[in-house]
């Protein structure tokens, strides 16, 4: 049995090992050692190459494979390799490091796919020259950009890749998916990226995601019932160039682009070269513009999209100058004055993507699902009882003023309110009868509202009678307000956890988990005492500022930014949900999706209504 050194140390490039066997097979040799740093092809990762040097000969390792519990090095040999003797092994580090980066990138892409399309089941991955992950199911090809963004987001967070050896039971308990065939002769190992759930893995991996560099998703390929998500990573030298510390600020970079444009146009005006020659000289990969285009990765990620637009404008304007110049002529149609360059890339049809709020809803749902919360839906037009009264806010409560509520005239509403007792409501059979019509008591026959918050889901969820409750209710909410910082229709997500012996510590733990997953591992939360009618104690939740990380800057108040409301569910609310507050307790929180999502992208909107203005120029930036 060969000891697999690469599984514990993927950076080891040299090793002394003892030769167990060396057998000639046709015109090549097969060497088995007592331990090895050579990776045998498998799990989608290509095998290593390198040399094995003995006292009287050198073997060049061309390919490595696993055979039962032994690693077989397929080699050509100059001289002799002696059995039982020590040899010096060296792997071709460039090949290995590239393979390692591509393999780790595969795991990052997989996490990104899971964030965008959690319903897909992975089947296999290929991490060689052509790299892809294959899933059961299908995926719209317009998800390409989103997956690429998510993958590069993970790269930029510089997450750690950690491997651990585990027993089969541990693997089954911890891994996010179990492949059909687990290796029989290798130790079982799991890999986790940052705080994402571990995945079984036996390959070689880099230590941190920034070693991978920028990931591109060139295509998504659907067959009848499976889909491949192809990915590429920049070569190591390109990556080094890109991560070198000379970052360029966007305005400076745009300045360089405009200089290049001016110089190119001057050259066109003075030149007597053909259009094709000018195009190669001014727009080709070796031109100044080509060189700048490659450097775009040095611009901070947040500004790259805008700078990309300028790059394209400059390209078009140089192209235009070449076409308009009377002295340049096209070799394609030399005699015609209107010409077509068939080698120019075609116009790309516009590609859409999900609205930023829908993207956030999917991501938030995923994050809470990982800790056992389930997304539920409750009515967005609901009885006053659920929106207010059951939450400890009777009609006369001044607390209601916080919510500028739209009240709905419900035609089936009885003229007088009954006082207690169950009876069918008058609107039975009414086509627009709201949820529960005809079934519930008179508490649900009062006024109806467009839900001003998602907290109406609390008592509704408790009424289902299924315990413990771990719900995440995401819905539209409506408030009679519209100005630069308010929209009349907004989205909230409401978390509710009801069980026995729930503590404030549990609430803090869940909030911390969400912040780290959604905003990044360096973010922290703090609970500030507050008041809500439906929680006791109540808190406002703050997050440490993403710009100064808590030190205090002009974007925040002393390092903290207010995000949301939360608290321990009030006993009256629990009672209204039909549960015994002596036995059950829990926590709840309710946050605005728009605010949470804008904070994540670091966008400071002058007018929040832009989000719903359907202006593609605005929306396509997210």
473 binds ligand DAH (CB under 6 A): no
Between 134 and 455, name the residue whose CB sits nearer to ligand DAH.
455
Between 213 and 567, name the residue whose CB sits nearer to ligand DAH.
567
Between 566 and 597, name the residue whose CB sits nearer to ligand DAH.
566
DSSP string of 366-425? HHHHTTT-EEE---SEEEHHHHTGGGT--TT-GGGGGS-PPEE--TT--SS---SS----
- DSSP at 137: S
Between 437 and 475, name the residue whose CB sits nearer to ligand DAH.
475
Residue span binding ligand DAH (CB under 6 A) among the ranges 284-292, 360-368, 548-556, 588-596: 588-596
Between 143 and 570, name the residue whose CB sits nearer to ligand DAH.
570
Asked if 204 and 103 touch (Cβ cutoff 8 Å), the reply is: yes
DSSP string of 209-276? GGGT--EE---EEE-SSEEEEEEEE--HHHHHHHHSS----HHHHHHHHHHHHHHHHHHHHH--S-HH
Between 109 and 474, name the residue whose CB sits nearer to ligand DAH.
474
**Least distance (Å) between residue 319 CB and ligand DAH:** 53
Residue span binding ligand DAH (CB under 6 A) among the ranges 78-86, 117-125, 583-591, 598-606: 583-591
**Least distance (Å) between residue 416 CB and ligand DAH:** 30
Between 96 and 595, name the residue whose CB sits nearer to ligand DAH.
595
**Least distance (Å) between residue 599 CB and ligand DAH:** 16
Between 47 and 533, name the residue whose CB sits nearer to ligand DAH.
533
State which of residues 48, 126, 363, 494 lies at the interface with ligand DAH (CB under 6 A).
494
Sheet strand arrangement including 448-450: 381-383, 448-450, 407-408
Structure tokens at 491: 């989205």
Burial 231-246 (b: 16+ CB within 10 A, else e): bbbbeeeebebbeeee
Residue span binding ligand DAH (CB under 6 A) among the ranges 125-133, 185-193, 323-331, 587-595: 587-595
The residue behind tokens 């909410």 is 477
Residue span binding ligand DAH (CB under 6 A) among the ranges 190-198, 240-248, 282-290, 584-592: 584-592
Between 150 and 535, name the residue whose CB sits nearer to ligand DAH.
535
**Least distance (Å) between residue 564 CB and ligand DAH:** 7
β pairing state of 489-499 and 86-91? unpaired
Q: Which residues contact 197 (CB under 8 A, 6 or more apart)?
A: 174, 175, 176, 370
Total interface residues for ligand DAH by CB under 6 A: 11
589 binds ligand DAH (CB under 6 A): yes
**Least distance (Å) between residue 64 CB and ligand DAH:** 57
Binding mask 559-578 for ligand DAH (x = CB under 6 A): ------xxx-----------
Residue 148: closest CA among 76, 220, 81, 200: 220
**Least distance (Å) between residue 496 CB and ligand DAH:** 7
**Least distance (Å) between residue 468 CB and ligand DAH:** 17
532 binds ligand DAH (CB under 6 A): yes
**Least distance (Å) between residue 452 CB and ligand DAH:** 7
Binding mask 430-459 for ligand DAH (x = CB under 6 A): -----------------------x-x----
**Least distance (Å) between residue 474 CB and ligand DAH:** 13
Asked if 92 and 50 touch (Cβ cutoff 8 Å), the reply is: yes
Q: What's the CA angle centered on 601, arms 595 and 605, to 5 degrees? A: 60
Region for 128 from its dihedrals, namely left if φ exceeds 0, alpha if ψ lies in -120 to 50, beta otherwise: beta
Instruction: Tell me the C-alpha to C-alpha distance, in Å, between residue 52 and each of 15, 283, 557.
Output: 9, 47, 62
**Least distance (Å) between residue 590 CB and ligand DAH:** 2
- DSSP at 76: E
Peptide bond into 537 cis (omega under 30): yes
**Least distance (Å) between residue 494 CB and ligand DAH:** 5
**Least distance (Å) between residue 528 CB and ligand DAH:** 12
β pairing state of 448-450 and 226-233? unpaired
Which residues, 322 to 361, sit near ligand DAH by CB under 6 A? none
DSSP string of 523-561? --EEEEEEEETTEEEEEEEEEE-TTTTTS--TTSBTTEE
126 binds ligand DAH (CB under 6 A): no
The residue behind tokens 């590239």 is 98
Asked if 73 and 201 touch (Cβ cutoff 8 Å), the reply is: no
400 binds ligand DAH (CB under 6 A): no
Between 6 and 589, name the residue whose CB sits nearer to ligand DAH.
589
Kindly list the residues in this chain that would bind ligand DAH in the complex (CB under 6 A): 453, 455, 494, 532, 535, 565-567, 588-590
């Amino acid at each position: 049995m060969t000891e697999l050194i690469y599984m514990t140390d993927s950076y080891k490039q040299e090793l002394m090992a003892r030769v167990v066997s060396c057998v000639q097979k046709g015109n090549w040799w097969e060497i088995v050692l007592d331990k090895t740093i050579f990776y045998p092809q498998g799990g989608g990762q290509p095998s290593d190459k390198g040399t094995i040097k003995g006292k009287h000969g050198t073997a060049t390792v061309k390919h490595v494979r696993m055979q039962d519990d032994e690693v077989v090095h397929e080699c050509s040999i100059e001289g002799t390799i002696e059995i039982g003797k020590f040899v010096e092994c060296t792997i071709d580090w460039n090949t290995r490091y590239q393979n390692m980066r591509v393999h780790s990138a595969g795991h990052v892409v997989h996490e990104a796919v899971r964030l965008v399309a959690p319903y897909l089941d992975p089947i296999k991955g290929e991490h060689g020259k052509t790299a892809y992950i294959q899933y059961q199911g299908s995926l719209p090809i317009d998800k390409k950009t989103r997956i690429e963004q998510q993958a590069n987001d993970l790269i930029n967070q510089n997450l750690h890749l950690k491997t651990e050896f585990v027993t089969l039971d541990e693997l089954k308990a911890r891994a996010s998916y179990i492949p059909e065939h687990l290796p029989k002769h290798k130790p079982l190992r799991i890999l986790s990226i940052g705080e994402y759930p571990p995945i079984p893995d036996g390959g070689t991996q880099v230590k941190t995601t920034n070693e991978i560099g920028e990931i591109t998703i060139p295509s998504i390929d659907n067959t009848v019932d499976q889909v491949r998500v192809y990915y590429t990573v920049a070569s190591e030298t390109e990556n080094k160039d890109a991560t070198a510390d000379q970052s360029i600020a966007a305005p400076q970079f745009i300045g360089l682009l405009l200089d290049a444009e001016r110089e190119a146009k001057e050259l066109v005006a003075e030149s007597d070269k053909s259009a094709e020659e000018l195009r190669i000289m001014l727009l080709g990969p070796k031109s100044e513009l080509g060189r700048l285009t490659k450097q775009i990765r040095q611009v901070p990620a947040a500004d790259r999209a805008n700078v990309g637009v300028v790059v394209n404008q400059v390209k078009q304007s140089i192209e235009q100058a070449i076409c308009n110049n009377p002295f340049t002529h096209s070799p394609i149609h030399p005699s015609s004055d209107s010409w077509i360059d068939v080698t120019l890339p075609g116009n790309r049809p516009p590609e859409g993507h999900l609205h930023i709020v829908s993207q956030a809803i999917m991501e938030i749902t995923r994050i809470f699902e990982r800790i056992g919360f389930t997304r539920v839906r409750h009515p967005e037009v609901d009885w006053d009882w659920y929106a207010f009264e059951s939450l400890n806010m009777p009609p006369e409560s001044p607390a209601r003023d916080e919510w500028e509520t739209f009240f709905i005239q419900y035609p089936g509403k009885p003229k007088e309110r009954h006082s207690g007792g169950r009876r069918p409501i008058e609107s039975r059979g009414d086509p627009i009868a709201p949820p529960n019509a005809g079934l519930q008591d008179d508490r649900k026959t009062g006024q109806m509202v467009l839900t001003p918050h998602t907290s109406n889901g609390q008592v509704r969820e408790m009424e289902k009678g299924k315990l413990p409750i771990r719900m995440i209710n995401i819905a539209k909410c409506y408030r009679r307000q519209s100005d630069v910082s308010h929209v009349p229709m907004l989205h909230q997500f409401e978390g509710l956890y009801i069980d026995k012996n729930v503590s404030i510590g549990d609430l803090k733990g869940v909030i911390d988990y969400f912040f780290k997953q959604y905003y990044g591992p360096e973010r922290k939360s703090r609970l500030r005492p507050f008041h809500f009618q439906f929680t006791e104690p109540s808190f406002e939740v703050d997050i440490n500022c993403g710009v100064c990380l808590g030190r205090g800057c002009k974007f925040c108040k002393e390092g903290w930014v207010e995000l949301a409301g939360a608290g321990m569910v009030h006993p009256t609310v629990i009672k209204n949900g039909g549960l015994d507050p002596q036995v059950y307790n829990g926590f709840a929180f309710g946050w605005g999706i728009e605010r949470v999502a804008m904070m994540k992208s670091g966008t400071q909107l002058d007018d929040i209504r832009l989000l719903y203005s359907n202006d593609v120029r605005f929306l396509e930036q997210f």
